Amino acid sequence: MIHCNRMTSPAPQLPWRADLLAGLTVAFVGMPQCLAYAMMAGLPPAYGLVTAAVPAFVAALLGRSAQIVTGPTNTTGLLILGALAPLLAHHGLIGPSGLAAVALLTLMAGLFRLAFVLLGGATIVRFLPEPVLVGFTAGAGLLIAVMQLDEALGLPGVAGAGLWGEILGVQKHLQSGHAPAWPALLLTTFTVGATLAGKRYLPRMPMALMVLVGATLLAWAAGLNASTGLALVADRSTLPDSWPPFALPSLDLELIRRFLFPALGISLLGTLELLVTARARGEQPDMRREITAQGVANLVGCVVGAFPASASLTRSVLLRLSGARSRLAAASAALWVLPVLLLIPHALGFIPLASLAGILLATALGMVDLQRIRRMWHASRETRVLVTSTFLSTLVLPLEWAIITGTGLAMLWYLSGTLHPRLTIYIAGEAGTLEALEEHVEPALVVVEISGNVHFAASVGLAGEINTLIPKSARRVVVDMSHAHQARFGCLEALESLHTRLEGEGRELRLAGVSKSFCTFVEKARSNLHITPATEQPGASVQQALRD
């Protein structure tokens, strides 16, 4: 009797198990970030966990990407701080009376995202050049670093926003007799060093979380607090029993007006962060769906105590590296935060502020991409100007205006390069070919080729520039528009002006290679220009115009 030995294959790994483990990893690593970003935005740390739980869960449910994590981010945190700065209490954090304003800002950030989708604004991020993004990110990194000076030095909180507000606040504390606290300085330095070392040598270990937990346990066991030189979260903020208090959005018209540009900047920057996060995975995301998910997530967040949330690049990359396969991973990362928020919120009060400052300082260092800045600096004068101007604008202007300044300057630079289309003059050779016009030749017929944009701004001096090129001997002029783009009414009037001038001198003007759309435009405008429409065969239209 022959016995067949059947080989048993290992049981297939359940996909949801990998997603749950990936979500747990992101939650553990991300919670210190979320706590720190909340403090940086001017809110008690518990609201960072709220934002990491509710908006993140909603965005994971409504989005299509399996590896995008939503929640607090560093750059949007700066924008939030700038918007809330007039409402901060003396300790540098928002008080109960300002919660309705936070809810309003979150609501407006969500509504602007939905408006982007409805108005086709999902493509607006394509107009943000890379040098502008690099300069803005570097400037934001420096801002984040400077704004941790009060916590890193163990000084009382500074109730201000911006570079000079923080520097002047720290200077005021030092002049009033508050000396830097060595325990805070040592813990900040250790946190920065351990976080950077862990990121480089042990990237899969939650080094920031380990340092934060260790410092918290030490502060609790040793009874450390602000009086001993190591200020804790509880020294700056009242800890809730479970879910932190919140309020419904304010409907104050003056507050709405004040938040218009900050909310627009938060939405624009959040959309940009979403695109960069998705690109990091080498994918082309459904931006309409993802922006909609982010918008709805903020609408839900505004009624539960969350502040404006965006896609987090660092936590999204970690989710991918942890083996996430479906949206369950991002959803579970949000759900893992809830037990901490609901069951042990008072434990957050023992977290040393210096540890959170150290985490933010390490994050800020990672935001300055020296290699890309160096490449852009050497690439061209344009990239140098864009990187430098956006960087400086980020330091001295409100962040939403810094983005607008950099993008506006890039657009002006681009438009200035399109003000003068290239004009090339040819003569007809014996075989019907076009040849370059040589000196001392007096042709009776010339062809002027227009290459580039002929939009309204470029059309202003077009007639004069063409007329300058035309030799006095030319009795017939053919303008080849095969390579001209964006011809509209300004171009039409410029060519009509040239036609009138040449006709007055007894010379003839004819247009060739005219696009179908511009032909229709000329016809509807009832222009008397002589045109030869473009054909599929290159150069055939010009040859036809020469024969006519």
**pTM confidence score:** 0.71
The answer to whether the CB of 453 falls within 8 A of the CB of 516 is no
- Say if residue 55's pLDDT is above 90: yes
Arithmetic mean of pLDDT over the chain: 84
* Res 8: pLDDT: 47
- Say if residue 322's pLDDT is above 70: no
CA–CA gap between residue 406 and residue 386 (Å, rounded)? 6
pLDDT mean over 66-79: 86
Q: Lowest-pLDDT range, 82-91, 172-181, 256-265, 268-277?
A: 268-277
The answer to whether the CB of 516 falls within 8 A of the CB of 534 is yes
Give residue-wise pLDDT tens across range 463-514.
999 999 999 999 999 999 999 988 889 999 999 999 999 999 999 999 999 9
- Say if residue 12's pLDDT is above 70: no
pLDDT band at 145 (very low <50, low <70, confident <90, very high): confident
* Res 105: pLDDT: 97
CA–CA gap between residue 121 and residue 287 (Å, rounded)? 10
Calculated CA dihedral for residues 134, 208, 54, 76, nearest 10 degrees? -20
* Res 7: pLDDT: 46
- Say if residue 278's pLDDT is above 70: no
Name the amino acid, one letter, at 242: S
* Res 500: pLDDT: 93
Give residue-wise pLDDT tens across range 224-234.
888 888 888 87
The answer to whether the CB of 394 falls within 8 A of the CB of 135 is yes
* Res 2: pLDDT: 45
* Res 350: pLDDT: 85
* Res 157: pLDDT: 76
The answer to whether the CB of 71 falls within 8 A of the CB of 77 is no
Question: Which of the pair, 347 or 353, is modelled with greater confidence?
Answer: 353
* Res 9: pLDDT: 45
For residue 362, give both structure tokens: 């390490």
Calculated CA dihedral for residues 472, 477, 480, 485, nearest 10 degrees? 70
Q: Which residue has the tokens 């609201």?
A: 47
Q: How far is CA 173 from CA 156, 159, 183, 533, 538, in A?
A: 7, 12, 18, 75, 74
CA–CA gap between residue 452 and residue 419 (Å, rounded)? 9
Residue 317, Cα to own-chain centre: how many angstroms? 17
Name the amino acid, one letter, at 264: L
pLDDT mean over 250-257: 94
Give residue-wise pLDDT tens across range 282-318.
556 677 888 999 999 999 999 999 999 998 877 886 6
CA–CA gap between residue 381 and residue 378 (Å, rounded)? 8
Strands (E), 60-164: 69-71
Q: How far apart are the first and last CA of the chain?
A: 98
Buried b (16+ CB within 10 A) or exposed e, 272-309: bbbbbbbeeeeeebebeebbbbbbbbbbbbbebbbbbb
All domains of the chain in start order, with CATH: 28-412 (no CATH), 422-547 (3.30.750.24)
Give residue-wise pLDDT tens across range 437-447.
887 788 889 99
Widest pairwise Cα distance in the chain: 112
pLDDT mean over 126-151: 83
For residue 456, give both structure tokens: 């309204």
CA–CA gap between residue 182 and residue 232 (Å, rounded)? 14
Most confident segment among 78-87, 122-131, 396-405: 78-87
The answer to whether the CB of 211 falls within 8 A of the CB of 360 is no
pLDDT band at 1 (very low <50, low <70, confident <90, very high): very low
pLDDT mean over 167-173: 86
Exposed/middle/buried for 439, CB within 10 Å: 0-12, 13-18, 19+? exposed
Q: What are the φ/ψ torsions at residue 277 (nearest 5 degrees)?
A: -65, -45
**H-run or E-run covering 478:** strand 476-485
* Res 440: pLDDT: 78
- Say if residue 323's pLDDT is above 50: yes
Give residue-wise pLDDT tens across range 394-435.
888 877 677 778 888 888 887 787 788 999 999 887 666 788
* Res 547: pLDDT: 81
CA–CA gap between residue 353 and residue 38 (Å, rounded)? 12
